[in-house]
Structure 1
Amino acid sequence: MMPAARESLLDAAYTALARRSWSTVRMVDVAAAAGVSRQTLYNEFGSKEGLARALVRREADGYLVGVDRALGAHADARDRLTATAEWTTSAARENALVRAMLTGCWSERLPSPTLSAVPSSSAVPAQRRADGPLPSPGDFVAVVRDRAVAALAGPGAARPDTADLARSCELVVRLALSCVAAPPGEGGVGELVRSALTPAHRALLS
């Protein structure tokens, strides 16, 4: 199947999930909305569970693309971390799957694919990847922290303060995740990040 058709099926599944609980989403309706046969849908994803895993994987990838975009959006390191925190909270607010992945709290209306890998006999490379292990909330913390360190430290980042930089980045990521669970008040996550970065953090990031 062409990648565009796979994306159309995932778009149809995402739209269906926005309207009803996953348990009531029917494969035949997803296929019809994407303009393909139900057999084509099963050939691509294998099962409804396979479709769920692929959908969750796509939303995880989309969140991380946004992280990279936020980390590259500014010249100042503090602004990059602030943008990353703001993206994290906005993505979680607007996308129930991202929120569930970042917090580990899967509501009854969402699919609940297991985090561990499942045996995959799919001939579709993208589905074999989707059938692999899904990131846990702790995995996301580590991935975003490491991407932030790489973006801020620059090439050849063997600086002696890399460990301190990693701690500062992890602080920001965890602060953002706390704001996903308990939305901040006036000023939002950006103000919290700026106030949490102590003079020592700011010196490290400058």
Structure 2
Amino acid sequence: MPAARESLLEAAGAALAARPWPVVRMVEVAAAAGVSRQTLYNEFGGKDGLGRALVRRETDRYLAGVDRVLGVEDGARERLAALADWTVLSARARPLLRALLTGCWDARLPLLVPGPRPEELTRVVRDRAAAALAPGEWGAYRCELVVRLALSYVVAPAGDSPMKDLLGLGLSASNRTAGGR
């Protein structure tokens, strides 16, 4: 029942956005998805299984977005800047993604369930970035620096995401020299 599964995940995600996970009720998720509670239990086994599926889906969505951003036909610098910017903005908007990227889980979210640790997710993104760029353009080390810089803005926000400016893109006349070094 792929359609029921996706409807249930959408309903659970909406419920999680509206209230803390501990007060989300399975009967409400099933009703919002338009399926029976038994269907929900058949698909996920219970609330823990539903939480694991939400975490997995969030991870998959993030990595699909990474691939989408890196697949744009721009230069390496532009693609990495877009990846960093997109990561920061996505994590701000999606608390579950923020928890996955930082390891900082709060009581509003499903309990930490087996899934990728932040350092594993960082490594996957670094490797995908390095593979998406032409050999020698930036290398894995520099890709990891960009990913970790983005994560620093997720952990300690500084207003609007300035990734493009930090990577030397979109520089104003007053800071072109510093950005071009």
Same fold by TM-score greater than 0.5 = yes
- Residue 154 (structure 2) pairs with residue 180 (structure 1): yes
Q: 1:26 to 1:141 in 2, by over 3 A?
A: same
3-state secondary structure, aligned to 2:133: helix
Q: 1:15 to 1:185 in 2, by over 3 A?
A: closer
RMSD of equivalent CA atoms: 1.8
Task: Give the Cα–Cα distance (whole angstroms) in 2 for the partners of residues 193 and 77 of structure 1.
Answer: 11
1:147 to 128, 139, 151: 128
Q: 1:186 to 1:42 in 2, by over 3 A?
A: closer
1:126 maps to what in 2? Answer: none
Measured against aligned partners, the alpha-carbon deviations of 1:52-93 in whole angstroms (never above 9, x if no partner) come to 000111011101111111101232110010010011001101
1:52 maps to what in 2? Answer: 51
- Structure 1 residue 194: deviation in Å? 3.0
Q: Letter of the 1:21 partner, please give it.
A: P
3-state secondary structure, aligned to 2:22: helix
1:137 maps to what in 2? Answer: 118
- Structure 1 residue 189: deviation in Å? 2.1
Instruction: Give the TM-score taking structure 2 as reference length.
Output: 0.88
Q: Do the aligned residues in 2 keep the contact of 1:77 with 1:152 (CA within 8 Å)?
A: yes
Segment of structure 1 superposing worse, 65-74 or 177-186: 177-186
Q: Do the aligned residues in 2 keep the contact of 1:145 with 1:170 (CA within 8 Å)?
A: yes
Q: 1:187 to 1:48 in 2, by over 3 A?
A: closer
Measured against aligned partners, the alpha-carbon deviations of 1:112-151 in whole angstroms (never above 9, x if no partner) come to 2322xxxxxxxxxxxxxxxxxx111001110000000110
Q: Do the aligned residues in 1 keep the contact of 2:126 with 2:147 (CA within 8 Å)?
A: yes
Task: Give the Cα–Cα distance (whole angstroms) in 1 for the partners of residues 27 and 163 of structure 2.
Answer: 41
Q: Letter of the 1:61 partner, please give it.
A: D
- Residue 107 (structure 2) pairs with residue 108 (structure 1): yes
Q: Do the aligned residues in 2 keep the contact of 1:175 with 1:193 (CA within 8 Å)?
A: no
- Residue 163 (structure 2) pairs with residue 189 (structure 1): yes
1:4 maps to what in 2? Answer: 3
Q: Do the aligned residues in 1 keep the contact of 2:105 with 2:112 (CA within 8 Å)?
A: no
1:15 maps to what in 2? Answer: 14
2:97 maps to what in 1? Answer: 98
Unmatched segments (≥5 aa) in structure 2: 170-179
Q: 1:192 to 1:55 in 2, by over 3 A?
A: same
2:34 maps to what in 1? Answer: 35
3-state secondary structure, aligned to 1:194: coil
Task: Give the Cα–Cα distance (whole angstroms) in 2 for the partners of residues 91 and 105 of structure 1.
Answer: 16
2:144 maps to what in 1? Answer: 170
Task: Give the Cα–Cα distance (whole angstroms) in 2 for the partners of residues 186 and 110 of structure 1.
Answer: 25
